[in-house]
Chain A
Amino acid sequence: MANEEKSQQPAASTTPTPANDRPPDRLVRHVFWKYPLLSLVLLVVVAVIAAAVGSPNWPKDTIAAVTKDNPGGAIMAFTQELDGTATSTGNAQEFGMNDPGQVFVMGPLRQAAPMLSSDIQSAIVTYDAASPQQQTSWASAYDKALGTIMPSGGGAMSGIASPDYTKIDTLKGDFGPVPVLVKADLQLAQNGFLEQYLQAVEPGHSYHLTNIWLYDHPNMLNTAVDQGLTDDQWGMVKERGFPVGPWYLIIPGVFHVYFPGGTTGTGFVLWNLLFAAILLFVVPLVPGIRDIPRYLKLYRFIYRYPAPGELEKSAFVERHGATNGGAEAAGGGE
């Protein structure tokens, strides 16, 4: 075996040539001494980049700020939570929460009732006394009416429109106590009560319900659309207000944007599993495909080949011997 190897490498200087690009597998001492230096250099590099460039840190939305910024959107969110058309209603089971109409609208109102006006208190009583069908029909009618006071296009936001809050009192119809209730809830949201209430309902999961409510409000998705962060805008590889995002998610990103069904959960997971299966099994096992590296010969740029005469230098021979140790001696081999 050893003789065979020697006979294959007659001369010490085996620079890569088309005739023979096999590097010597003579053993040398591992260059571990370079690692402390590399670690130090990389520590400094990472620290300097971190200090100079920072990292994405866009302040969180709060319910108070969002509802002051866009009260019409909040009115719409509360109404849709009551009539069962809110985002959170569709996902309530998955979020592990009860009926959003109760959690986000009626719950906070009941708790705050003693501090609220008698009009609001009687509106709560009226609503609670009505049948579920009646409650939904009031809220649906109001939801429909809100749709008539949407700004007529041209707004900065290209996502979901919000009702014009200044026209809210002009709406007429069979809304029951719903307009009074959602307006009262808007007040609770704007003065910070709702946020604290929702954080306290689930101790240990402070942001669970507040995030779910903020997603019912149109602002969050509209901001995402404006910032190019949604499914069709390569949102997966981007950050808000920061140039460098998770670029390494580009392959899942391609599935997400271009592949059929890639924006649905099931489709996205299946495409990624297929890609993982190709990497795990096809690349290393399928004849032909597993031989691609051998034909591409990129290894010539990777292996270290000795400079002419390097292996014959007396210092090298002194340290590592004149003969070829072979990879087997390092526990290598097939």
Chain B
Amino acid sequence: MIEQADEAQLDTFQHRVDEHGRVRSILESFAYIKPFGGMFGKIVPFYAESYWYAMGGLTFLMFVFLTFSGIILAWLGPYWWLTNSFGQFLKSFHYWSAQGFFFFALLHLFRVWATGSYRGRRILNWWIGLTIFMMAMGENLFGLLARGDWESQFVSMHSDDMLFVQPFFFNLFSTANFTADLTVHVALIPVIMFGLILAHVMLIRLQGLSKPLSNQKEK
């Protein structure tokens, strides 16, 4: 059986090949490369070996898709992504990755709720996760504003009229400023989100997976 003490010995490539073959060992090698390998929990309780438990990871995968496509889009600029055919494709890739992000994030949220994984000290991670989700909605608005098409024009005026007259924005900011929208979308919100995602994953590593719910008496 796998104990934490001999986890390191069990993690050697040769041992993993013996356990489940060369192909799988190579595929999963990304989770064992130092120093980042330490971030991955190599063993899980049997009940968590379900695709429902992969939804958070797939949400993060969408975040990675969004980051890489977003860097290229920001690098080459709005004229390119609105007119060049590859630019339009990459903008669409970015758009559908965002759709995927929310799709998987909502499935993840459902899984966490339905398994009661917010119990006890894990409530801290519940709060962090919801904060990430709310920031993602803000990121969504600024992405819409930064797109540079008709919808951006209309929503910049429409949301300016409605949201950004609130005192907490101190009238410092107008969504009619395309440059400001793009900056917030590219360099402010995603950076904070990335920090929170790291904290989210670290806490899972520190606290482990929550114990399963059941109709049996709590121990």
> What are the residues of chain A within 8 A of B113 when measuring CB–CB?
283, 293
> What are the residues of chain A within 8 A of B36 when measuring CB–CB?
none
Indicate the member of A28, A269, A283 with the most B CB atoms within 10 Å.
A28
What's the least CB distance linking B64 to chain A, in Å? 8
Chain B positions 122 through 138: 1 when the CB is less than 8 Å from some CB of chain A, otherwise 0:
01001100100010010
Indicate the member of A42, A204, A211 with the most B CB atoms within 10 Å.
A211
Q: Is A285 among interface residues, defined by CB-CB distance under 8 A?
A: yes
Q: Establish whether residues B30 and A22, one from each chain, have CB atoms under 8 Å apart when the complex forms.
A: no
Which residue of the partner chain B has the closest CB to A9?
Answer: B216
Q: Is B187 among interface residues, defined by CB-CB distance under 8 A?
A: no
Q: Establish whether residues B30 and A36, one from each chain, have CB atoms under 8 Å apart when the complex forms.
A: yes
Q: Is A47 among interface residues, defined by CB-CB distance under 8 A?
A: yes
Are A329 and B47 CB-contacts (below 8 A) given A46-B97, A50-B92?
Answer: no
Q: Establish whether residues B212 and A303, one from each chain, have CB atoms under 8 Å apart when the complex forms.
A: yes
What's the least CB distance linking A33 to chain B, in Å? 4
> Interface size for chain A: under 10, 10 to 19, 20 to 34, or 35 or more residues?
35 or more
Q: Establish whether residues A58 and B151, one from each chain, have CB atoms under 8 Å apart when the complex forms.
A: yes
Q: Is A103 among interface residues, defined by CB-CB distance under 8 A?
A: no
Further contacts, 17 of them, CB under 8 A, given A42-B100, A59-B150, A333-B208: A26-B45, A26-B46, A29-B16, A32-B31, A33-B24, A33-B27, A55-B91, A57-B149, A60-B149, A207-B176, A211-B153, A265-B164, A283-B118, A285-B123, A299-B115, A302-B52, A319-B20
**Contacting residue for B171 out of A60, A93, A264, A334, CB 8 A:** A93
Chain A positions 7 through 20: 1 when the CB is less than 8 Å from some CB of chain B, otherwise 0:
01000000000101
Q: Establish whether residues A28 and B46, one from each chain, have CB atoms under 8 Å apart when the complex forms.
A: yes
Q: Is B74 among interface residues, defined by CB-CB distance under 8 A?
A: no
Q: Establish whether residues B149 and A56, one from each chain, have CB atoms under 8 Å apart when the complex forms.
A: yes
Q: Is A304 among interface residues, defined by CB-CB distance under 8 A?
A: yes
Q: Is B67 among interface residues, defined by CB-CB distance under 8 A?
A: no
Which residue of the partner chain A has the closest CB to B148?
Answer: A60
Chain B positions 156 through 190: 1 when the CB is less than 8 Å from some CB of chain A, otherwise 0:
11101111111000010010111110000000000
Q: Establish whether residues B92 and A325, one from each chain, have CB atoms under 8 Å apart when the complex forms.
A: no
Distance, CA A285 to CA B127, complexed state (A): 12
Q: Which of A107-115, A135-143, A158-166, A239-247 contacts B (4 or more CB under 8 A)?
A: A239-247
Distance, CA A296 to CA B113, complexed state (A): 11
Distance, CA A299 to CA B211, complexed state (A): 12
Q: Establish whether residues B46 and A60, one from each chain, have CB atoms under 8 Å apart when the complex forms.
A: no
Are A332 and B212 CB-contacts (below 8 A) given A93-B171, A265-B166, A302-B111?
Answer: no
Interface set of B (CB-CB < 8 Å, partner A) = 1-4, 16, 19-20, 23-25, 27-28, 30-31, 40-50, 52-54, 57-58, 61-62, 65, 82, 88-97, 99-100, 102-103, 106, 111, 113-116, 118-121, 123, 126-127, 130, 134, 137, 140, 144, 147-154, 156-158, 160-166, 171, 174, 176-180, 205-216, 219
Q: Establish whether residues B165 and A268, one from each chain, have CB atoms under 8 Å apart when the complex forms.
A: no
Q: Establish whether residues A91 and B211, one from each chain, have CB atoms under 8 Å apart when the complex forms.
A: no
Q: Establish whether residues A205 and B179, one from each chain, have CB atoms under 8 Å apart when the complex forms.
A: yes
What's the least CB distance linking B200 to chain A, in Å? 15
Distance, CA A43 to CA B183, complexed state (A): 27
Chain A positions 28 through 58: 1 when the CB is less than 8 Å from some CB of chain B, otherwise 0:
1111111111110011001101110111111
Are A55 and B95 CB-contacts (below 8 A) given A23-B46, A333-B211?
Answer: yes
Chain A positions 89 through 126: 1 when the CB is less than 8 Å from some CB of chain B, otherwise 0:
00101111000000000000000000000000000000
Are A24 and B46 CB-contacts (below 8 A) given A205-B177, A280-B127, A331-B41?
Answer: yes
Distance, CA A96 to CA B140, complexed state (A): 24
Q: Establish whether residues A50 and B93, one from each chain, have CB atoms under 8 Å apart when the complex forms.
A: yes
Are A96 and B171 CB-contacts (below 8 A) given A32-B28, A46-B65, A305-B47?
Answer: yes
